[in-house]
Structure 1
Amino acid sequence: MSTDTEAILAGVRTWAENNDVPVDSIEDEEIVVTLPGEKKLKTNVAISVFARTAHLQAFVIRHPDENSAEFNRWLLQKNLKPGPVSFAIDSLGDVYLRASVPREHLLDELDGLLGAMLSTADSSFNELLLIGFLTGMKKEWAWRVGRGESTRNLAAFEKVLSGDDNEFLGTFGEADSEPPAVEADQESDGAGPASEGAGKADEADGQASEAPGSVDEAAGQDASRDSADDQRPGPRS
């Protein structure tokens, strides 16, 4: 690792410290920072420094349970809008945000890039849940209501889930001990889009174009909750 790369990563860590942003992990050419959100509780961004460019990647949401065509159309339409970040999917359909800049510009543009990643991930999360996971959320709402469990983790969707359109209401009771699980916030077992060619320009520079780290732990796991009730499966961030 060159001193220059060390200095860049040190600059990212200084930015994180100055902005009270947790650093999840540091490797020779990569650092992962955790950005707190509202709809999506946290967004983990892997920042990788290569020979000529720096790449930023964040896991947003796993592949949809339903409505794949509409789900992917929504992503493509969002990519038409100008901006520093874009959506990408891996071979399993899990969704990521990506951005690339010349390595020498990373620190100057870091605040704006991370702000755009956080804003995009946070603003898109609930919309993508409604497109790709609505049936699962309906089932979980009905299960929670039927058992008298808290619906706090689904409160943002109450208008959609509590009405007559929820065909599962009344089908669960206290005897149904296992809740329907909506695992929208966890990646599938597979590499992110960077391993499928997003870093080809750096291969030509003599760099290995691997996905930014292992994002199993660092790109989309849920923040801890205050109560045992909120540890149940649900459409978490």
Structure 2
Amino acid sequence: MTPDRTEGAAPVSRSATRAAAVAVVEAWVAAYADPSSPEHVEGVAAERIVDDAGRDIPVWAITLPGERKLRTVVQVRVGERSVGVIAFVVRNADENHEAVHRLLLRRNLGLPGIAYAVDDSGDVYLVGRAPLAGATETWLDETLGAILQASDGIFNEVLALGFRSAMQAEWDWRLSRGESTRNLEAFRHLLEGQR
């Protein structure tokens, strides 16, 4: 095991650096996800993940409240060498895949330390990673904020590009039966009168 070094400082073991990264995540969770904390943010929740044997592992599911997308769940995992974050954004588009992917790739250019990615099914995620020593409270807070902004901010645009036909069918079905269209209200300008 090679110790981590910072210029002019004594070597720090990787296990100590990993423990410090775990402490950073735990402190963030205690401050913002604990309803009894004075810094608690409404709608933020966190759960420490356990393995099959019921033991805590250094993985958390952190729920962040949104405006367009009701919530974004971010998995934060403290590994042996880095801290990784991953958040589901939206399932694989039904249509206009090229336009959706082009939009995501253009947005990647301005994202701070995170990026849009697709899995084997075509579902869209936001991913990021930092070395253990770089996993500071500031990094975690800024990364979670960037994930929320990137997930919530692009959500309606991706839905309009990738799911417009399905939304139109839902809109028409609801209107034909006198049902509420409240859940599609953000898309009224695209759907109304488009039969």
Shorter-normalised TM range: 0.7 to 0.9
Aligned to 1:18: 31
More divergent stretch after superposition (37-46 vs 49-58): 49-58
Q: Tell me if the contact between 2:48 and 2:58 (Cα under 8 Å) persists in the aligned partners.
A: no
Aligned in 2, Cα 1:5/1:48: closer, same or farther, shift over 3 Å? same
Structure number with the higher strand fraction is 2
Shift of 1:43: 0.5
Percent identical residues:
41
Question: Following the alignment from structure 2 to structure 1, what is the Cα–Cα distance between the partners of residues 30 and 67?
Answer: 21
Shift of 1:99: 0.9
Which protein has greater RCO, CA pairs closer than 8 Å, 6+ apart?
A: 1
Shift of 1:30: 1.1
Could you give the per-residue CA deviations for residues 52-74 of structure 1, whole angstroms, max 9, x where no partner exists?
Answer: 21111000000000111111111
Question: Following the alignment from structure 1 to structure 2, what is the Cα–Cα distance between the partners of residues 69 and 49?
Answer: 34
Matching residue's letter, 1:86: A
| TM-align CA RMSD | 1.6
Matching of residue 95 in structure 1 with residue 124 in structure 2 = yes
SS, match of residue 136 in structure 2: helix
**Which structure's CA Rg is the greater one?**
2
Q: Tell me if the contact between 1:5 and 1:29 (Cα under 8 Å) persists in the aligned partners.
A: no
Matching residue's letter, 1:76: L
Question: Following the alignment from structure 2 to structure 1, what is the Cα–Cα distance between the partners of residues 188 and 29?
Answer: 35
User: Between Structure 1 and Structure 2, how many residues are aligned?
Assistant: 164
More divergent stretch after superposition (27-36 vs 60-69): 27-36
Match of 2:157 among 118, 127, 132: 127
Question: Following the alignment from structure 2 to structure 1, what is the Cα–Cα distance between the partners of residues 142 and 125?
Answer: 18
SS, match of residue 29 in structure 1: strand
Q: TM-score, normalised by structure 2?
A: 0.78
Shift of 1:97: 0.2
Q: TM-score, normalised by structure 1?
A: 0.65
Gaps of 5+ in 1: 168-237
